[in-house]
Amino acid sequence: MNKVAAARDLFLYVIVKSYDGRGAGFYISEKHVVTNQHVVGNSTFVEVQDYLGNVFSGKILAINRDADLALISVSQEGRPLILARHGVKLGVSTQAIGHPNGLDYTLTSGVVSAIRQINLNSNSHRTVKVIQTDTPISPGSSGGPLLVKGEVVGVNTAKNSGQLLEGLGFAVHADEVQDFVSQVLERMPD
């Protein structure tokens, strides 16, 4: 399967539902799903649904409020996506998969506009590495992957909702995701 076809393999993506919200997520390993912290909120457990409608439980293993990331241990195995290990170039085509406004498994596309360090958490001074994109990111798309040639370059997290600022979305960079997931899984007992 080529990398573009992999972006359309909807079995890799999930819907994450918590008391605090609903968003997207994807397998980062066979038993772990990544999403945004703001999708899971203060929940300890979430409901995860795959493309076939199978619903299974997930337990929040860790969150990073500064990077707006959450790692979920899930009861149903899935096929993980690959995190990009290379730099992302400006102007490269991107795809996002999410569930905007309840329209499940929607694929949108755009380009990388910039790589930035920004503050995603108003209660902290820490900045995180993000990808700025014009790929449409709407409520329900949060937590889903931003893809380049089928590899995850970021986790969709925010869009600027100003009336004059269309096409201004952000995804937490894959470097931040890798650091977060590695730190959490290294602390886990085998």
Where in the sequence numbering do the catalytic residues fall?
Answer: 38, 68, 142
Here the tokens at position 146 are: 């931003």
* Burial state string for 167-176 with b = 16 or more CB within 10 A and e = fewer than 16: ebbbbbbbbb
The Cα-based distances of 25 to 89, 158, 187 in angstroms read: 24, 14, 22
Q: Max alpha carbon distance in the chain (Å)?
A: 50
Here the tokens at position 62 are: 């860790």
* Burial state string for 37-58 with b = 16 or more CB within 10 A and e = fewer than 16: bbbbeebeebbbbbeeeeeeeb
